[in-house]
Amino acid sequence: MEFLQLSEVRQHNNQDKHKMDKKTNDIILKNVAILSRHTKVEDSMMPEGSAPLPSVESVRKIVALVKCIIFSDYFYQRQPQEEIRSFYIGVKMEDLYKELVEQIARGLLFCSCMSEEEAHVKAKDLALQFIDQLPELKRMLYTDIQAMFDNDPAVETYGEVIFSYPVVNAMTHYRIAHTLFLMEIPVIPRIITEQAHSKTGIDIHPGATIGEYFAIDHGTGVVIGETCIIGNHVTLYQGVTLGAKSFKYDENGNMLNVPRHPIIEDHVTIYSNASILGRITIGHHSVIGGNIWVTQDVQPYSRIQQSKAVDTSFDGGLGI
């Protein structure tokens, strides 16, 4: 009797399992069919043709390879002997070239009507142009490390800055992306800077121009817009916004991509949570205090601070 009851229970459980499997299968198949159809909205946002799109993971690999080449002792393998060091860097350089060619070609196909063959030919030339600029990129990044070391009394070694400071990560991504941006390579520069943004909280548009010996202390919440021009020996603190005050439109109501972000001259320090908005100039050797809005030009050697709350209206501010 007990054996019969146990058999019936097992049979019942198997029937329930079969029903559940069928229900699961039906729901999955139904939604696969729905999501496999191309919608009008989806098609309107996709580039023409069927060329492969840029790979976010491969772009991340490009940045990692550049870091291994520029900071070889820190992010790859410490090797004092230059002959052996050159071998390791050479291997990484070959890998970098291959990744660059593939992803640059995909970026070109994403935003143009050229053929895949034309895109790969042009990508090879652009990849070599980028590699030819690596020595200057390395020089600039080491000035940023020096600036951070000089500006932060809490840091004890250069290695501490290179290994752990978010500004090094953000500036490595930015300087790679800016180089590619100046070469008019589509899409890839934005992917690179947004990868750093998501990791560090520092948002730098690849189109911004930033001089040497640039430092960002702490860094979280810093925003630097596309048309910013920043000189040499500039220091920012967390939460600084170098943004636009308003936008210009054409006769059809479309936004115009015109200079709309600040110009920061040499030897300027901007403290935390200051917002510098619009196409204004902050004169050299100036200090901008924290938690204030600046929307007008500042003369060189100025000291700008807000000693008490000021109630003013702000017209035309359409965000950053």
136 pLDDT above the threshold of 80: yes
- Give me the numbers of helices (H) and strands (E) for the chain, helices first please: 10, 14
> Nearest CA to 66 among 147, 172, 189, 148?
172
Q: Residue 298 forms beta bridges with which residues?
A: 282
Nearest to 276 by CA among 215, 200, 222: 222
Of residues 180, 184, 186, 178, the one with CA closest to residue 206? 178
- Give yes or no for residue 9 having a pLDDT over 70: no
Across 79-93, 99-113, 264-278, the highest mean pLDDT is recorded for: 264-278
Arithmetic mean of pLDDT, 85-93: 92
CB 237 within 8 A of CB 270: yes
Does pLDDT of 1 surpass 70?
A: no
Residue 251: DSSP 8-state: T
Tokens of 308: 């008490």
pLDDT at 273: 97
Band the pLDDT of 76: cuts 50, 70, 90: confident
Question: Residue 270's pLDDT band (boundaries 50, 70, 90)?
Answer: very high
Return the SS3 of 232. coil
Strand ranges, E, within the chain: 203-204, 209-210, 215-217, 223-224, 229-230, 235-237, 241-243, 263-264, 269-270, 275-277, 281-282, 287-288, 293-294, 303-304
pLDDT in tens, 142-156: 999 999 999 999 999
CA separation for the pair 218, 204 (Å, rounded): 15
Mean pLDDT, rounded, for 82-106: 93
Please tell me the predicted confidence (pLDDT) of residue 44.
Answer: 87
Check pLDDT > 90 for residue 205: yes
| Model confidence at 37: pLDDT above 60 | yes
- Please name which of 244, 240, 283 lies closest in space to residue 260, comparing C-alpha atoms: 244
Dist CA 233 CA 230 (whole Å): 9
Distance CA 40, CA 311 (A): 48
Q: Choose from 4-8, 111-115, 128-132, 254-258 the range with maximum mean pLDDT.
A: 128-132
pLDDT at 154: 92
What's the order of all strands across the beta sheet hosting 281-282?
209-210, 229-230, 263-264, 281-282
Share of the chain above pLDDT 70, in %: 89
pTM of the model: 0.86
Q: Which amino acid is at 5?
A: Q
Strands 287-288 and 303-304: parallel
Q: In sequence order, what are the residues at sequence separation of 6 or more whose Cβ sits closer than 8 angstroms to the Cβ of residue 238? A: 216, 217, 218, 219, 220, 221, 222, 272, 273
Nearest in space to 273 (alpha carbons), one of 246, 236, 244, 245: 236
Query: What are the pLDDT digits (tens) for 157-196?
Result: 999 999 999 999 999 999 999 999 999 999 999 999 999 9
- Tokens 């100039």 correspond to what residue? 281
Determine the pLDDT at residue 319: 47
